[in-house]
Structure 1
Amino acid sequence: MGNPTAFHRTSRGATRASVRPRGRHALSRRSVLAGGFGLGAAGVLAACGGQTAASSSGNASSGGGPVRFAWWGNDYLNRQTDEVIAAYLAQHPDATIDGEPGQWGSYWDRLATQAAAGDEPAIINMDQKYISEYGGRGILADLRAVDGLDLGTVSAGALEAGTVGGTLYGISTGQNSYCVLANRAVFADAGVDLPDDTTWTWEDYARIAREIQASRADTVGTVYGVNEAYLVTWLRQHGEDLYSADGGLGYRTRTLTEMFAYLLDLMDTEAGLGAAGAAEEQGVPLEQSAFGTNKAGMTWSWANQFSSFAATTGSDLVMLRPPSAAGAAAENGAYFKPTMFWSLGAGAASNPTAVSFLDFLVNDPEAAAILRVDRGAPANSATEDAVMDVLEAPDRAFLDFMSEIEPEIAGTPVVPPQGSSDAQNVLSRHLEQVLFKQASPAQAAEAFTAEVAGMIESA
């Protein structure tokens, strides 16, 4: 993985923040932490059955040996994570941490295969859509029962977010929200004004994207950015949710049909990528994406990726609230989500090095200063000052944005039930069929609904 100490974050200071500064108090106000196409992880994970603590977790069950640490991320996050590993090893020179980085899609395929073989890593970067799957199948440790892991200064909301069925399977790395990123330079070059994101509508969003795309042959108005968060945001605007409290589906098929129809219209009116370009965009790293290479006016992104995009593009970027049907920020369906989790493989609970390293990730100020806010707005009061002391403009912009939208956030989506972890891949596949006009929006909505319902029922 190269020299983990060679990475410095100086390049990020050159990018101007595009959100009004709120001062040092912003981070301490974080009381609201709520909570590729192909086979995907769910199909492989189904073979795991009732995995138990006897699984290896990187030789963890033996109480010694190298500790395997798996995470997903782009090159930027990989360098950052290498640096935090190096910091831990400087404090624990006798320890061995073997990093296993990966891109989002391949990461879950690999982890599912490892778990099916009882060979999952000791420290596992976990996501909310998968935590029920892995926790429910006995692959993750109950973190409240792990000796040597201090949870005393982690916010109650962060702990609740990683709890499924009363068991703590993951410690949230921080809170996040799905939003639109806009490139000021592309807007200016196209002669298009930035919208008022407290009042803009889906019609405004489409019009702006069309105007940008019409201005220059090598620029697209928007990258669609459709994933499970996009769908949940759309559904929440209609008073619905992807899942229901009883573990089923919580929306009307008609609402999903309308979303597919809107996206098809974006493509047909040349507001965004064509079908082939949209399919290609699904799997590219941030650094190679249309927005990441300054060839798109807007994209959808998790707000914590603002810093990565700012560093990659070298441009002046701004975070925007999602548009809404009503033109009201309080009705745009935005929500706070745990960015990701740190979890412990079930067999690693007896490995003192694995527990020590997890405690370092969660509680050590030096680790927090390295990780900053790229995995979300921190939720540990013991590390807030260490983070605030090292933040640069894009990081502060992210925290300011989260503070700014906080009063508009109403409720949280239902945690994805067991069996639903591949829903995002299913959504991407059916959207691809709509954009290639192999299925109508209504047909895709019906097929998606039937497929996800079947996945949940068979879990």
Structure 2
Amino acid sequence: MTAAVLALTACGGGTSGQEADGVVELRFAWWGGDKRAQLTQDVIAAFEAENPDVKIRPEFGDSGPYWDRLATQVAANDAPDIIQMDEKYITEYSSRGALLDLSKYKIDTSKFDPAALQSGTSEDGLTGLPAGINAPTILANPRVFEAAGVELPDDATWTWADFGRIAAEVTAKSPQGTYGSAAYGGDEASLGVWLRQNGKSLYTQDRTLGFEAPDIAAWWAFLKELREKEAVPTASEVVEAEAATLDQSGIAVGTNGFAFRWSNQLPALEKAAGGDLEILRFPSRTGDAADTQLWYKTSQFWSASARTKHPEETARFINFLANDIKAGEILLAERGVNPNSGIRTATESKLPSADLKVVKFIDQIKGELGAAPAPPPKGAGIIQEIIRRYTVEVLFNRLSPEEAGQKAVDEMKAAISD
């Protein structure tokens, strides 16, 4: 049965409960495409085979409607028992008392990276157990570099000045319409790296903004410098690229040499590109990989409703997802690199080559990681849209980096202070 058909029967609400034969029924909500739906159904079947006293009812769909539906369900005290949660919203739901403190139940976290665990932990407890981890990266299309006659950089030693020089050289030696790099500015990751390398952060542990207007203005000023060197596309091309699907992105179709992407996007982009892509560290200010200040980001969390009538059974299923080898072998890297080091090692041989490349990168940078970033505060879901909007204003020269910086910071502070 396809995910589309399953979704028609799975998206309805309704409270969880106890069936007449004593079997506990739990609702499990997640977002994602057909592949994720099928694999998750397979995990549910594996769990139910070992736990005949529990039945899992799936509720899933696309990410957009997912969040609207979840907000409605939580407000109506009708939340699913198990919830696939995102970093942008976990603080918002936790602070409202909507998520269960998983640390009070029998869930083994001994093989999880401490920084990844911290991302789901607050004064409200462990309200999200990492389902997958990834890292901010720069992907490179070797065929673009070969055609331009430019060597790929040594990502353990390159600086931002090197990045700009190499990207401009690729543009100059490529056909019109091909650029050394895609522009950054469409996500929080590249800004986060820039801020961390300059002693700042996106957010603080006090749930406030971790930077001021001059900090983001400097980030935009460097982007303008890249544009003036023609290292990145024009403003109109950047806007057009924002609307492109992953398989039509410049790094996939061969019109960008570099692209700012999360590591878990590599497999899909390689498939679209029809060939290998290289996964690189970000440049640093010093040319030392130890100063890159990357981090492990939790791609999704396993969370549970604080109002579940069956917390023990809910925790049992989450522990299965997090610690059972069978679950790891089914899901593999569908939600990112497995954050459980034991399962990661046990399933490496089963991973496709692209996923294995991501796992090796994640392991390679482990000793270079900066401190775990503070989780996004309540209201942070809108921050990425603010960054994207003002990036466009800067690229079209409608606002200076300084003007955009002040306006953006004012909006961001207002969004997270409510």
Q: TM-score range by the shorter chain?
A: 0.7 to 0.9
Distance 1:193 1:117, change over 3 A: farther
Kindly indicate whether residue 129 of structure 2 is the aligned counterpart of residue 174 of structure 1.
Answer: no
Given that residues 184 and 223 in structure 2 are in contact (C-alpha distance below 8 angstroms), is that contact kept between their aligned partners in structure 1? no
Kindly indicate whether residue 282 of structure 2 is the aligned counterpart of residue 325 of structure 1.
Answer: no
Distance 1:223 1:108, change over 3 A: farther
Which residue pairs with 2:176 in the alignment?
217
Which residue pairs with 1:396 in the alignment?
356
Which amino acid is 1:320 matched to?
L
Which residue pairs with 1:59 in the alignment?
14
Count of residue pairs brought into register by the alignment: 400
Structure 2 CA distance, aligned partners of 1:356 and 1:154? 17
- Once the two structures are TM-superposed, the CA of residue 237 in structure 1 deviates from its matched residue by 1.1
Which residue pairs with 2:193 in the alignment?
233
Alignment of 1:20-419 (within 5 A): 58-63=13-18, 67-72=27-32, 75=33, 78-89=34-45, 92=48, 95=55, 97-103=57-63, 107-146=66-105, 150-151=107-108, 153-155=110-112, 157=114, 158-214=116-172, 215-226=174-185, 227-348=187-308, 350=310, 355=315, 357-381=317-341, 383-419=343-379
Aligned-partner SS, 2:365: helix
Aligned-partner SS, 2:137: strand
Structure 2 CA distance, aligned partners of 1:244 and 1:351? 31
Structure 1 CA distance, aligned partners of 2:82 and 2:243? 25
Unaligned runs of at least 5 residues, structure 1:
5-55
Show CA shifts across 1:361-390 (max 9, x none): 222322211222343332335534441231
Distance 1:251 1:91, change over 3 A: closer
- Once the two structures are TM-superposed, the CA of residue 337 in structure 1 deviates from its matched residue by 2.2
Given that residues 153 and 382 in structure 1 are in contact (C-alpha distance below 8 angstroms), is that contact kept between their aligned partners in structure 2? no
Show CA shifts across 1:397-422 (max 9, x none): 22221222222223222222223332
Which amino acid is 1:125 matched to?
Q
Structure 1 CA distance, aligned partners of 2:158 and 2:284? 7
Aligned-partner SS, 2:303: strand
Distance 1:264 1:137, change over 3 A: same
Structure 1 CA distance, aligned partners of 2:385 and 2:245? 17
TM-score, with structure 1 as normaliser = 0.78
Unaligned runs of at least 5 residues, structure 2:
5-10, 19-23
Structure 1 CA distance, aligned partners of 2:253 and 2:166? 20
Aligned-partner SS, 2:279: strand
- Once the two structures are TM-superposed, the CA of residue 443 in structure 1 deviates from its matched residue by 0.9
Kindly indicate whether residue 384 of structure 2 is the aligned counterpart of residue 432 of structure 1.
Answer: no
Given that residues 209 and 221 in structure 1 are in contact (C-alpha distance below 8 angstroms), is that contact kept between their aligned partners in structure 2? yes
Structure 2 CA distance, aligned partners of 1:450 and 1:231? 17
Is 362-371 or 86-95 further displaced after alignment? 86-95
The percent identity for this pair of structures is 35
Is 227-236 or 326-335 further displaced after alignment? 326-335
- Once the two structures are TM-superposed, the CA of residue 83 in structure 1 deviates from its matched residue by 2.0
Given that residues 434 and 441 in structure 1 are in contact (C-alpha distance below 8 angstroms), is that contact kept between their aligned partners in structure 2? yes
Given that residues 307 and 395 in structure 1 are in contact (C-alpha distance below 8 angstroms), is that contact kept between their aligned partners in structure 2? yes
Structure 2 CA distance, aligned partners of 1:348 and 1:207? 55
Which residue pairs with 2:2 in the alignment?
2
Which of structures 1 and 2 has the larger relative contact order (alpha carbons within 8 angstroms, sep 6+)?
1
